[in-house]
Amino acid sequence: MATDTSPSTSSSSLAASVSHAKIGGTLVLSSHMLRWVPTQSSLASQSITIPLQHIEKLLASVAKPESQTFSLKIVFFQPEDPEKERLRVLGKGDVLFTFTAPEGRERALNDREEFKTRLYGIAQNNKKEREGASESLKERSNDRKEAANGCSSAPESAAKDNSSSKTVPMAPVPAPLTAEEKVKRREQELQLRISILHANPELKSLHADLVISGIMRDAEFWSHPTRSALLRSERALMQQRQGRNARIADPKPTNDEEGNLKINLSAQMVRDVFEQYPVVAKAYNDLVPKQMDEQTFWTRYFQSRLYHRLRTSARSAASQHIVRADLIFDQYLDDIVEDDGLESKREFHAHDNFLDLAATEEDHGETGNTKDWPMRAGAERSALPLLRRFNEHSGSLLDSALGEQGRASWSRVTGPSGERTVPAASASSNRGLDEAISRTRQHYDQIVINQLEEEKRGGTRALEVSQDKQGFFQGTHDREGSETGDVSQEVLEDLLRSVQGQLLDWSDSTTRMMGGYVPNCKENERAMHTILERVKQQEEARSEDISENDLSESIHQHLISCHAATTEFLRQFWAAVAPQPSPPPGMAIKAEDEAEKKPLTPAQRQKRAVRMLTLLKNSGERADGVAKLAEEKQPGRGAKRVKLALEETEKAVARALKIGQSMYPQVFVSHGSS
């Protein structure tokens, strides 16, 4: 029922019977927030709190004569900056309320109109404030640009004076993103977080308890180091560039129901054909759509000699002569070079002119020095074009992943740490060198192993010792002899008598401490048996008590949720009050990681710490609620077990509140006065 009928934006509150997601509740509009509270609290229904500054616009349903309920959708403002606070309800940027007054249709319509009028004024005020803030921000940016231009016109002498001082390398400043790029990046980030939540049910449950319920912002939730690592790893997987398909594009014809040959072409198959056979791509660009459409092109292509020349399956000379001529596609046969001789017609530049025989030693262990007939090249002339096509396809796959491996980019991995060095033939800047000399130097770099080269020892200088060096070494020898000389017999006897006396004294002292006790094996066994029986009885009683007092699954889930939420509040509080490490100078930060690595200002840290202290003070109410539910399930034992399970968590909360009271006493003063 509405308590205020005036459409003004005064500080008086409004209240009405409103349902959300088919759950009845009460919608209350106060001076600073809009709050919906369900009639019956449960896990499926949670209260919704909407700060008024997040409201951007309203959408209302048409009031038809036959309608008994009336809807009002509230759309939230979504800032372009991902660092700024965003409001989400059930993962959406809007919320739909349905006004259902028990008094009837007229009362529901009046309540909807009152809320719509009040919220419309609030949305207009928010729009004006945002426009004014954006204009002031533009003015400040223009002032900064003018100041920067003024500073850049300083005398050159000042730059020369400061040139000798130590400078810190600065990271390159990334170009500002456009509005479309920002929207696309926000959508990608949202999908990224949703995929992580779907893959981790426990994290999804915690996110629902803290973020969707409005207790914590989404940016604060994902600031956890482990969750930030999850975001980075998932983002790296999404940003990986997909390579080419390794399969050779050779579409196979199939028979349809009528017995006709049919070839299914997908978009990926068409791309693979164009990449692997440039002559087909050339023909497609020349003929489509100038002389024929796409369907006609592929129909005539699969019936032409060009297709049978390029295909890799069932390749034979007879099949090429049976196919009828096609004047359009036959003109592209001249672009194909038949490579069916013993020597390949294509120029091949080996990256390594020296073979590693040890790498293929296991393939030639049984042949010895005899001729290796199975490995004889060119034994089957008809298979040479097919083998060379396979090799060419493998080379093109490597080139697509590693880049073109031309003669100018030859390199070799050498050294213990795997450095890539450019051979002298391509790195030399002297163009007058003969090609043979360049090739010789290149081969020299390949066959010379630095680790096997003889080490060059530098020149040595004799150590100048004084003239009396014989006496010096003689004195050293005398001192060593005196320290390690033989021990006399008298000294050994005195040492033996001393050790015997110490052993006798130790035996007498042990007897005095033990008294007249004489060990008895039977008594010891009986006493040990009694002790073990008592321990066994205590353990059985404890296990029976635990089995009787086991919490139900629902109470256990409530307990885990309460502990996880309180732990998150503690982590946020300690992260806010702890000193923040400063980033190293000149460190480049990616645009997508900027929100994760950007340090908070002291004011933001204080605000977050104060808010976490408020949540920690109220965490006891949630624990009491779980204890009350457990007590209803297990009278006399449930609350005690919940308190025992949350004992360490409550100690951590008490310690945080104690330190927070010394740092921010105003929070506790205001709380006590209220």
Residues 56-62: contacts with CB under 8 Å, at least 24 apart? 56/123, 56/126, 56/127, 57/123, 58/116, 58/119, 58/120, 58/123, 60/112, 60/116
Q: Is 348 helix (H, G, I), strand (E, B) or coil?
A: coil
Helices within 578-633 (DSSP H only): 594-597, 602-633
Question: According to the per-residue pLDDT averaged within each range, which of 24-28, 424-428, 634-638 is highest?
Answer: 24-28
Distance CA 86, CA 192 (A): 17
**Contacts of 493 by beta carbon, 8 Å cutoff, 6+ apart:** none
**Contacts of 101 by beta carbon, 8 Å cutoff, 6+ apart:** 1, 16, 17, 107, 108, 111
Residue 246 has pLDDT above 70, yes or no: yes
Quickly state the pLDDT bin for 80 (edges 50, 70, 90): low
Distance CA 577, CA 602 (A): 9
Amino acid at residue number 464: E
**Contacts of 658 by beta carbon, 8 Å cutoff, 6+ apart:** none
Q: Give residue for tokens 């809320």.
A: 115
Largest CA distance in the chain: 126
- Chain length of the chain: 674
pLDDT on residue 422? 45
**Quick one: which of 173, 183, 175, 174 has its CA closest to 81?**
183
pLDDT on residue 297? 92
The mean per-residue pLDDT over the stretch 107-112 comes to: 87
Per residue in 189-236, pLDDT (tens digit) is 888 888 888 888 888 888 888 888 888 888 888 888 888 888 888 888
Share of the chain above pLDDT 90, in %: 1
Which of 59-63, 120-124, 386-390 has the weakest average pLDDT? 386-390
Whether 60 contacts 72, CB under 8 Å: yes
The dihedral built from the CA positions of residue 360, 366, 369 and 371, taken in this order, carries a sign that is: negative
Distance CA 114, CA 13 (A): 11
The mean per-residue pLDDT over the stretch 313-318 comes to: 51
Peptide bond into 201 cis (omega under 30): no
Residue 55 has pLDDT above 80, yes or no: yes
Amino acid at residue number 199: A
Q: How far is CA 245 from CA 278, 293, 404, 426, in A?
A: 16, 27, 18, 33
Mean pLDDT of the chain: 72
Per residue in 66-75, pLDDT (tens digit) is 787 888 988 8
Neighbouring-strand partners of residue 413: 420
**Quick one: which of 564, 557, 575 has its CA closest to 649?**
564
Quickly state the pLDDT bin for 557 (edges 50, 70, 90): confident
Q: Is 214 helix (H, G, I), strand (E, B) or coil?
A: coil
pLDDT on residue 310? 80
Whether 121 contacts 9, CB under 8 Å: yes
Cα 191 to the center of its chain, rounded Å: 13
Q: Torsions phi, psi of 586, nearest 5?
A: 80, 5
Between 307 and 78, name the one with better pLDDT: 307
Percentages (nearest 5) of helix, strand, coil residues in the chain: 55, 10, 35
**Quick one: which of 595, 607, 604, 597 has its CA closest to 81?**
595
Distance CA 650, CA 645 (A): 10
pLDDT on residue 155? 42
Question: According to the per-residue pLDDT averaged within each range, which of 139-143, 399-403, 484-488, 512-516 is highest?
Answer: 399-403
Distance CA 380, CA 382 (A): 6
The mean per-residue pLDDT over the stretch 134-157 comes to: 53
Residue 262 has pLDDT above 70, yes or no: yes
The mean per-residue pLDDT over the stretch 8-15 comes to: 55
Per residue in 520-545, pLDDT (tens digit) is 788 888 889 999 999 988 887 776 55
Q: Kindly report whether the global pTM for this prediction surpasses the value 0.85.
A: no
Q: Torsions phi, psi of 402, nearest 5?
A: -105, -5
Distance CA 19, CA 36 (A): 9
Number of CB atoms found within 10 A of residue 45's CB: 18
Per residue in 156-197, pLDDT (tens digit) is 444 444 444 444 444 444 556 777 777 878 888 888 888 888
Angle between helices 647-663 and 602-633 (to 10 degrees): 150
Whether 217 contacts 260, CB under 8 Å: no
Per residue in 560-591, pLDDT (tens digit) is 888 888 888 888 888 888 877 665 554 444 54
Quickly state the pLDDT bin for 356 (edges 50, 70, 90): low
Distance CA 498, CA 347 (A): 94
Distance CA 317, CA 303 (A): 15
Share of the chain above pLDDT 70, in %: 62
pLDDT on residue 538? 84
Which of 80-84, 192-196, 608-612, 633-637 has the weakest average pLDDT? 80-84
The mean per-residue pLDDT over the stretch 596-622 comes to: 80
pLDDT on residue 424? 44
Between 12 and 28, name the one with better pLDDT: 28
Between 370 and 554, name the one with better pLDDT: 554
Q: Torsions phi, psi of 92, nearest 5?
A: -115, 160
**Quick one: which of 95, 49, 31 has its CA closest to 215?**
49
Q: Is 55 helix (H, G, I), strand (E, B) or coil?
A: strand
Quickly state the pLDDT bin for 467 (edges 50, 70, 90): low
Number of CB atoms found within 10 A of residue 23's CB: 14
pLDDT on residue 81? 59
Distance CA 214, CA 611 (A): 13
Q: What is the DSSP letter of 210?
A: I
For 14-143, CATH number out of 3.30.1370.100, 2.30.29.30, 3.40.50.150, 3.40.50.300 equals 2.30.29.30
The full set of domain ranges for the chain reads: 14-143, 183-240, 254-335, 406-444, 553-673
Q: What is the DSSP string of 258-291?
A: TS-EE----HHHHHHHHHH-HHHHHHHHHHTTTT
Residue 322 has pLDDT above 70, yes or no: no
* Helix (H) and strand (E) counts in the chain: 24, 11
Quickly state the pLDDT bin for 348 (edges 50, 70, 90): low
Distance CA 378, CA 637 (A): 87
pLDDT on residue 466? 58
Quickly state the pLDDT bin for 407 (edges 50, 70, 90): very low
Between 507 and 626, name the one with better pLDDT: 626
